[in-house]
Amino acid sequence: MTNELWEQVRETLKSTVGRNNYTNWIEPLELHSLEDGVAAFQVPTQFMGNYVSRNFGEQIIFEMGRNGAPIKRISFVIGRSQASKAVETIAAKPIAPKQDTGGDLDDRFTFDHFVVGKPNELAHAAAKRVAEGEAVTFNPLFLYGGVGLGKTHLMHAIAHELRDKQPHLNVLYISAEQFMYRFITSLRDKRMMDFKQLFRSVDVLMVDDIQFMAGKESTQEEFFHTFNALIDARKQIIISADRAPGEIRALEERIKSRLQSGLVVDMHPTDFELRLGILQSKEDYYRAQYPDLVIHEGVLEFLAHRISSNIRVLEGALTRLFAFASLVGREITMELTQDCLADILKTSDRKITIEEIQRKVSDHYNIRLSDLIGPKRLRVYARPRQIAMYLAKQHTNRSLPEIGRRFGKRDHTTVMHGVKRVTDLIQNDSQIADDVELLRRAIEH
Ligand code: ADP
Ligand code: MG
């Protein structure tokens, strides 16, 4: 009976939290018990419980109520099915908003823990500037980029820093979903004055994942008024979304244009360097936890190479790897890595052929395939050729002589030279680095 109810609630949540959130956070929740106005859910980790509580607690409570099971709060049972011992209780946030930001922030999402690389350096610099809390220079700051690229991390970092350095400022971080639910519940409870007052009284307002407001007209309307009131009062606003303002469908034009009126910063997909940097910083963190662990040369590079989808997946892979190695007391070798992460690696395990690389490269540079492979030594052909060789070396397991053969019977030393040249250029020529990164993504997908 209770499970049916949960199924039903889960179904309604599917449409309100967005597909990714649903798959990652809501679908895995199992209703453990429903007693005394408390719904307890089984979750594998404490982190998951915290995350769900923080981001979806209110919505779960709200939807449970609408489906005939009014509850006061939700709690979490940590662990897998019967094995669960520790019972953690996390009270959902009260419906009436509190003004402190502290509880909502992830402690690890600070500037110190944010690795800066080319794809995110502008976003980082803008976030840093805003975090100084000085006179507003660009308003709003709009950060956008794909899933897991660090938008939430940066926003939390801003809030942490402001809280430390400018404690008198009233900083409010909220997800667009929370904004929506607070708005709806305030309407329902006839507490709109409180709602308006809360949002009009902040010095810095951050709204995460604004794309969730798409199609929610009354919420947009209220947001628009809040937004204008704060901008007029020269209060800083920071917004994030998974795409550029103009690309968010079912968002009112006037809101789009307002969102574009400040600084719009694109967080680019990660590149190899950044991924490696992040892995190295996490490695330091894990080393403190598992001092005896041995990690073999090349493992981090391998992961940075193979897991390019997003940073969350990359982190998850490393966490699993370290946990596994420490549990079984083994060194982290390449082999262990491949076994332990087989499922994650498989998705990016498509066989890539040299022909495919050659085609993509010649398309990219708009030259003929025959010229890419042929004998001409002009720079317009030679550079793309070297890049294609480099990619062939990186993405296939062909040997240098074999690659040479496929490039018009060239010698393996020519290939070696080409690979080396491109490796150097990636360091020193950002145009080439971008080209290679673009091509790499085109090849992998
Ligand atoms: P988004 O909000 O863009 O989907 P998050 O901010 O939640 O992404 O980031 C996903 C995960 O990746 C978080 O655990 C975050 O700490 C980590 N992460 C993202 N970017 C970086 C970075 N530049 N340095 C270190 N960790 C990062
Ligand atoms: Mg986020």
pLDDT, tens digit, 9 for 90 and up, residues 181-192: 889 889 888 889
Q: What average pLDDT does the segment 247-258 reach?
A: 86
Tell me, what's the pLDDT at 101? 39
Residue 423 CB contacts under 8 Å (≥ 6 apart), including other chains: 390
Residue 144 CB contacts under 8 Å (≥ 6 apart), including other chains: 151, 240, 241, 242, 243, 244, 245, 264, 265, 266, 267
pLDDT at residue 373 tops 50: yes
272-349 has CATH 3.30.1330.40 classification: no
The answer, yes or no, to whether any atom of ligand 1 lies below 6 A from the CB of 278, is: yes
CA-closest residue to ligand 1 atom 13:
312
Residue type, 134: E
Q: Which sequence spans correspond to the domains of the chain?
A: 2-91, 102-266, 272-349, 354-444
DSSP letter for 22, please. Answer: I
Q: Tell me which architecture the domain covering 2-91 has in CATH.
A: 2-Layer Sandwich (3.30)
Ligand 1 atom closest to residue 116's alpha carbon, by position in its atom list:
23
pLDDT at residue 262 tops 50: yes
Q: How far apart are CA 44 and CA 61, in angstroms?
A: 21
CA-closest residue to ligand 1 atom 20:
150
Percent of the chain with pLDDT over 90: 43
The domain made up of 102-266 has a fold known as Rossmann fold (3.40.50)
Q: What average pLDDT does the segment 241-251 reach?
A: 87
Length of the chain: 445
pLDDT band at 333 (very low <50, low <70, confident <90, very high): very high
Helices assigned H by DSSP within 67-191: 121-131, 151-165, 176-188
Each residue's pLDDT tens digit, 26-44: 888 889 888 888 999 988 7
Q: Give the end-to-end CA distance of the chain in Å, rounded to a whole number.
A: 44
Element spanning 422, H or E: helix 412-428
pLDDT band at 3 (very low <50, low <70, confident <90, very high): confident
Q: Domain 354-444: give its CATH superfamily.
A: DnaA protein, C-terminal DNA-binding domain (1.10.1750.10)
Nearest partner of 253 among 219, 214, 222, judged by Cα: 214
Tell me, what's the pLDDT at 445? 65
Q: How far is the CA of 278 from the centre of ligand 2 (A)?
A: 17
pLDDT band at 137 (very low <50, low <70, confident <90, very high): confident
Count how many Cα atoms sit within 13 Å of the Cα of residue 181 in the half-sphere of its side chain.
23
- Pocket test of ligand 1: the residue of 312, 313, 314, 318 to mutate, having most ligand atoms within 8 Å of its CB, is 312
Residue 202 has which token pair?
Answer: 């902040």
Residue type, 261: S
Residues having C-beta closer than 5 Å to ion ligand 2 = 151-152
Ligand 1 atom closest to residue 242's alpha carbon, by position in its atom list:
3
pLDDT band at 206 (very low <50, low <70, confident <90, very high): very high
Tell which wins on pLDDT, 428 or 351: 428
Query: Residue 399's CB: how many other CB atoms inside 10 A?
Result: 12
pLDDT at residue 81 tops 60: no
The answer, yes or no, to whether any atom of ligand 1 lies below 6 A from the CB of 147, is: yes
3-state DSSP assignment of residue 85: coil
pLDDT at residue 14 tops 90: no
The answer, yes or no, to whether any atom of ligand 1 lies below 6 A from the CB of 119, is: no
Q: How far apart are CA 174 and CA 104, in angstroms?
A: 8
Q: How far apart are CA 147 and CA 177, in angstroms?
A: 16
CA-closest residue to ligand 1 atom 5:
150
Residue 179's beta-bridge partner residues? none
Tell me, what's the pLDDT at 438? 85
Residue 355 has which token pair?
Answer: 């022909």
pLDDT band at 96 (very low <50, low <70, confident <90, very high): very low
The answer, yes or no, to whether any atom of ligand 1 lies below 6 A from the CB of 313, is: no
Tell me, what's the pLDDT at 350? 63
3-state DSSP assignment of residue 147: coil
- Cα–Cα separations (whole angstroms), residue 388 to 1, 109, 303, 356, 368: 60, 38, 22, 10, 13
Residue found under tokens 């803008």: 126
pLDDT band at 89 (very low <50, low <70, confident <90, very high): very low
Q: How far apart are CA 94 and CA 119, in angstroms?
A: 38
Q: How far apart are CA 311 and CA 149, in angstroms?
A: 6
DSSP letter for 82, please. Answer: G
pTM above 0.85, yes or no: no
